[in-house]
Amino acid sequence: MPVYGAPTYKDRGTGLVVFGVFQIILGLLAALMVPLVALSAFMSRLAPGGAMRPGQFISGVATYAFAAGALLSLGIGSVQMRRWARALTLVTSWYWLIMGALVTVLVTAVLPVFMRSVLAQMKQSGSDAPSPEMSTGIMAVVLTIMIVFLAFFLVVVPIAFVVFYGRKDVAETCRRRDPVERWTDRTPLPVLGASVAFFTGAVYMVLVGMTTPMFPFFGRYLTGIPAAACFVLLGAVDIYLAIALFRLQSSGWWIAVIAAPVRILSMILTYAMADLMQAYSKMGMSDAQVQMLNSNPMFRGHIFLWWSLISVLLFFGYLVWLKRYFNPPASATPEVLPAQVG
């Protein structure tokens, strides 16, 4: 005989705590990278390429500190079963999965070439390089371990997060355990994801502008103050877009869709026409540091830069897909927006 009033969902409180604790552990690991960056900056003084530039040090510390803060906050929020933590974890896990898959493919394609170039340089320098047979065996083992490690943390782990936090039972558990409406409830989750991406991009733009000012501008690389000004300006635009999209303003969507192709065109022209290594030299890098970058297959042929262009193209397609959320019927109200979950 059915019991009326019983919950029609399975409580996922235990799972929220487990995944939250895992996020807290990842956040602590990210925090531990901050002193390691400081150690690597100190050790770089002994390297042939010269000491780490202050901008690189600040950028590394700020990146890991930001990641640690985000993971710790989301982990604690998940343990407390907050609605906002579930929503933000879900949208960031999707980005984690997509970017992680692209990184894994990139590293799988480039790393063998990089390892072979390192072995070739060891032989040319006359150092005690292992025999070709041993080199091939060692390289295969190292590459396999690294690729499996990357695939686990960049693909398998985010898949687990997406599957778990995307469950209706998890959303309902957060609703019951956290009955107060949160700010993440005010916009559809796909739009929230775009807003988070623009906000994160704004932080990244300002950070790069202050630490590594090298801006691709329609066929040339700007450096110094002009590049920093362009990064700060784009960061301000991204902040506006993050707020406008979150508020479901059609003007924000149109600006984002129009600005994205302009950025893509600027990147394509610059990657195809400009000299990346010359731009690094203008930023004050030593000849040894530029030579080390030029020997890296990820920078030769702009492989890394073209990979970043693919990421921007994918995000542009995502923005176009979001159009459905910015043309509601005239009678629609915020309370009845579609896809309003979590």
The C-alpha torsion from 56 through 59 and 60 to 66, rounded to 10°, is 180
What's the pLDDT at 132? Answer: 53
Nearest C-alpha neighbor of 89 from the set 12, 178, 169, 184: 184
What's the pLDDT at 259? Answer: 92
What's the pLDDT at 189? Answer: 94
pTM exceeds 0.75 for this model: yes
Residue type, 186: R
Q: For residues 62 and 31, what is the distance between their CA atoms, to the nearest angstrom?
A: 10
Question: Is the distance from CB of 188 to CB of 253 less than 8 angstroms?
Answer: no
pLDDT tens by residue, the chain, 342 residues: 444 444 577 888 999 999 999 999 999 999 999 888 888 777 766 655 556 677 777 888 888 999 999 999 999 999 999 999 999 999 999 999 999 998 888 888 777 766 666 666 556 655 555 555 556 667 777 778 888 888 999 999 999 999 999 999 999 999 999 999 999 999 999 999 999 999 999 999 998 888 888 888 888 888 889 989 999 999 999 999 999 999 999 999 999 999 999 988 888 888 778 777 777 676 666 666 666 666 666 665 566 677 778 888 899 999 999 999 997 554 444 444 444 444
Nearest C-alpha neighbor of 319 from the set 254, 226, 263: 254
What's the pLDDT at 222? Answer: 87
Residue 284 region, left (φ>0) first, then alpha (ψ -120 to 50), else beta?
left
Nearest C-alpha neighbor of 185 from the set 31, 342, 70, 6: 342
What's the pLDDT at 142? Answer: 77
DSSP E strands, 157-213: none
Q: For residues 115 and 122, what is the distance between their CA atoms, to the nearest angstrom?
A: 11
Question: Is the distance from CB of 340 to CB of 185 less than 8 angstroms?
Answer: yes
What's the pLDDT at 238? Answer: 95
Q: For residues 270 and 273, what is the distance between their CA atoms, to the nearest angstrom?
A: 5
